[in-house]
Amino acid sequence: MANLTLADLDAMSVDKAQQLSFEERDKLLDLILKDSLKNVGKQPERQIGLMSDYFEEDMVRLAKVRAIKIRCGGFIPVDSTGEVPSLVPKEQFKLVFSNVKTALESMGSKLDRIVNMIIFLKNMDYWGEMNAVYKEFVKSCPTRAAIGIQDLNKTYQIELVNIIAYKVAR
């Protein structure tokens, strides 16, 4: 299997690209997504490694690798029994990102293929702590917003919504 580049993909017809193996198309999807997350100008230090300003969805490249967009609803800090096992914010942050990871893997994707998400925090005082946990899980710097909302369920410190990720069709 050759290490294909985006230039190689751009030079291929859709038919030829779709004849590549799943593994080749899967690796190309990672390159496409990395290339598509952009910033307008210099990022502030507090933003580096957290988010991009916009996602430039290249439909031609995505079609060539047979990429499928996944849109996820809300993720909350519950365990496999449906209970909130801890009221400690950091524990809830870890659990909710772990829940997203598990869900995306079950769909054939992964955290680093997230291109967009909205984060609701019950208390914005925990923004830095949430970002530290976020950086442990998400390396792709998707477009995102973190919004303080005191009216989350009384036991939730965090909810993740409007998650958009990609995977490659088999």
CB neighbours of residue 41 within 10 Å = 6
Angle, CA 109 vertex, CA 82 and CA 51 arms, to 5°: 90
Task: Identify the pLDDT of residue 49.
Answer: 65
| Domains, the chain, with CATH or none | 6-168 (3.30.1330.40)
pTM summary value: 0.91
Question: pLDDT (tens digit, 0 to 9) for every residue of the chain, 170 residues total?
Answer: 579 999 999 999 999 999 999 999 999 999 999 999 998 877 666 666 688 889 999 999 999 999 999 999 899 999 999 999 999 999 999 999 999 999 999 999 999 999 999 999 999 999 999 999 999 999 999 999 999 999 888 899 999 999 999 999 99
- What are the tokens at 97? 């990102």
pLDDT tens by residue, 101-131:
999 999 999 999 999 999 999 999 999 999 9
Task: Identify the pLDDT of residue 117.
Answer: 96
46 Cβ contact partners less than 8 Å away, ≥ 6 residues apart? none
